[in-house]
Each structure stands twice: as C-alpha cells, then as structure tokens.
Amino acid sequence: MSNVMQRDPTLIPRKPGVFMLINKRRRRVYVAYTSDLQKRSHSLAHMLQNQKTHWSIKDLPKHPAGEFTFQVVEQDVTARSAKKVVELAEEAAAKKGYKVVGGSRSAVPAVTWDGRTMPLTEAMKLARTKAKYITVWRRLDRGWTIAQALGVDAAPARWDPAQTRQRRRRIQSRNPAPPAA
C-alpha cells in the first residue's frame, strides 16, 4: 500500500468518504465509497498482503501489495452523494488512461427485498430471521435467493436439512458399518 499508510495509518481519517485504490504500474484504479476510510484502508491492506484471504474486490487483479496506493478522494461524503463523487473520480481516472476496476463485494451488501433495495441488515430485520448475518451473507455468496438466505423460503435442495438427513441414511444403508469385534 502507499508509503504514507505504512508510516502512519492514522493520517487516513475515520470518516465516511470516497477513496481510490491505484496501481500506477499497471494503470488500474478502483473507486468506492466507505463509511470509514481508515478501517477500509486497513482491510484492503490486509487483503493485498494476504492474497489467500477473502478478496473483497473480485475484479481487481492479484498484484503485489507494493504496487497499490490508497488515496482519499473526498471525506465527509454522505452515502447519497457518494455515487456522484465516485462517478466523477472514475471519469477523471479513465481520462488519465487508467482502467477502472469494478466488482465491489461490499461490506454492507444491498439486496432487493419486498420490491425495495436496502442493506442486508435491514432485510434481515424485516424478515425477522433468526440466522446470523454471516450465515445469510454466505448463503447469498453461494447463490441462494434472498428469500432462501433469510429463511423465508425453503433452502435449495442441496442444503435442505431434511434432504441431507435422507441422503445420509441412503448412503449409510448402502454401506453399513462393519460389525464390532
């Protein structure tokens, strides 16, 4: 990551804002909004340095961490005004010859539930799910529908507990355990 960040990460404010993750060598840039610039810079630094961890920007090529710079574009941006700031920053980067990388895997995914787009946490509250946030998020990551992930609809066949029990019984009946000696 950037030399500034390595020297003193507190130089990046704990404020909402728009940032750019820049790879000057390979002419790539990723622009996004975050509710906490400092936390986001830290998580991205971790992602870049430990490439076996969760890669939160799916379209970002896995290049050495030292090639990237985290740059704050604008601080104190509201979530509503962030889209315009991101678009302007992406346009400016593209004019400079950078390829804009997309594919954010947001820390707060937006889902469409009951005809409205909202954060996953809000959909969980509305659905009154008893599942934990990480469980719902992983279900969505596996391709479940939002209703299945929230537990409103039945789980896909592969994940249905009743069908899993039946499948295990069938396998066990075909391969009985050896008699105890």
Could you state, in order of their start, the residue ranges of all structural domains in the chain?
A: 3-100, 110-174
Q: Is the pLDDT of residue 4 over 70?
A: no
The domain 3-100: what is its CATH number? 3.40.1440.10
pLDDT tens digits, one per residue of 31-73: 988 888 988 888 888 888 877 666 667 677 788 888 888 999 9
User: Which of 106 and 23 is assigned the larger pLDDT?
Assistant: 23
Q: Could you tell me how far CA 166 lies from the centroid of its own chain?
A: 34
Q: Please, which pLDDT band fits residue 150 given cuts at 50, 70 and 90?
A: very high
Give me the chain's average pLDDT, please. 81
From the list 6, 109, 89, 103, the residue with the least C-alpha distance to 56 is 103
Average pLDDT over residues 124-138: 89
Coil, helix or strand for 128?
coil
**Pairing mode, if any, of strands 17-23 and 68-75?**
antiparallel
